[in-house]
Amino acid sequence: MTPCIFVTDLHGHITRYQKLFAAIAAERPAAVFLGGDLLPSSLLALAADAEHYRDFVADFLSREFQKLREALGEAYPRVFLILGNDDSRMEEAGIRDAAAEGIWEYIHNRKVPLGKFNVYGYAYVPPTPFQLKDWERYDVSRYVDPGCISPEEGFRSVAVPPNEPKYATIQKDLARLAGHDDLSRAIFLFHTPPYQTKLDRAALDGKMIDHVPLDVHIGSIAVKRFIEARRPLITLHGHVHESARLTGQWREQVGETHAFSAAHDGPELALVRFDAENPAEARRELM
């Protein structure tokens, strides 16, 4: 058995983290997956209390996981982590520092083993209407949905090579990340959900920009095509908080792949439990 816990989109809410820590301590899973948008809103980085924002990783997140590691000892799980589009990339240095201390494993754009499985991480999402572009990429082309801002605009907390925002795509990134690997026992930790599924349904019904109706599905076409073509065992997603409320579903079978979302738009912590050996039996609890 490889029991796992998956959460995402905690957005710096202390009570949600406290519930997560309690669940880890009680259940002692083999692995914990954190799927991005973990920190207080990036907008705080521009506000008067920016110093408090910058301290969240060091003063809370890594400190509390370290306490949990000391309490659990050898029962401490593997913790796999990526950031999300609402997390400033300037926090990546602190995330990497904690990873170097063994508190968690930062796996954006990386592959790491987990027993019989391989775990892959990927943080980027397609263009959004939001200004922060640290974790946004063109999807399969340089098309941008109505109302969204291209990766070449907006702002970034960390500078990138000039051509990257213009030419990089999620589609190309995933091809490089997976290479020619056999993905039949792969677990992919994404922030974005796949396009036109129950996991990427946004509350955009009837909304228009310049007389153009908005697409209610805001996930990644590249991720959807990747899942269909490469058929990983399990994919984990977040980003679209209201999707489960609107569709009544937090999981979807895409071909042979079990796709789960732990995004939630209520005050509770949405916690997905799954056994990598038997993903069909996955369960979601609102805590």
pLDDT in tens, 104-138: 999 999 999 999 999 999 999 999 999 999 999 99
pLDDT at 61: 96
Domains defined along the chain, listed by start: 3-286 (3.60.21.10)
> Is the model more confident about 2 or about 172?
172
Tell whether the model's pLDDT for residue 45 goes beyond 70: no
Q: In sequence order, what are the beta bridge partners of 20?
A: none
Q: How confident is the model at residue 174 (pLDDT cuts 50, 70, 90)?
A: very high
* Cβ proximity of 4 and 276 under 8 Å: yes
161 Cβ contact partners less than 8 Å away, ≥ 6 residues apart: none
pLDDT band at 42 (very low <50, low <70, confident <90, very high): low
DSSP for 192-232? SPBTTSTTSB-S-TT-EETTEEPPSB-SBHHHHHHHHHH--
Residue pair 39/56 in contact (Cβ under 8 Å)? The answer is: yes
- Average the pLDDT over 10-15 and give the result: 95
CA distances from 57 to 94, 96, 139 (A): 6, 10, 29
Neighbour count for residue 175 (Cβ, 10 Å):
14
For residue 221, pLDDT over 50 is answered with yes
Indicate whether 81 pLDDT > 90.
Answer: yes
Rounded to whole angstroms, how far apart are CA atoms 261 and 105?
20
| Backbone region of residue 240 per phi and psi (left: phi > 0; alpha: psi in -120 to 50; beta: other values) | beta
**83-118 burial string, b = 16+ CB within 10 Å, else e?**
bbbbbbbebbebbeebbeeebbbbbbeeeeebeebb
Q: Is 162 exposed, middle or buried (0-12, 13-18, 19+ CB in 10 A)?
A: exposed
- H helices within 158-199, ranges in order? 164-167, 170-178
Confidence (pLDDT) at 41: 78
Q: Which of 184-198, 206-220, 229-243 comes out lowest in average pLDDT?
A: 206-220
**Quick one: what percent of the chain has pLDDT higher than 90?**
92
The distance of Cα 235 from the centroid of its chain, to the nearest Å, equals 10
Q: What is the pLDDT of residue 1?
A: 81
Both tokens assigned to 276: 């990598």
Look up residue 105 and give its amino acid: E
Between helices 14-27 and 62-72, what is the axis angle to 10°? 20
CA 26 to chain centre: 24
The stretch 223-249 carries a mean pLDDT of 98
Q: Is the dihedral of CA 207, 85, 7, 169 positive or negative?
A: positive
Q: Is the pLDDT of residue 24 over 60?
A: yes
Pairing of strands 283-286, 270-275: antiparallel
Torsion of CA 11, 13, 17, 18, to 10 degrees: 180
- Give the per-residue pLDDT at 192: 98
pLDDT at residue 50, rounded to an integer = 44
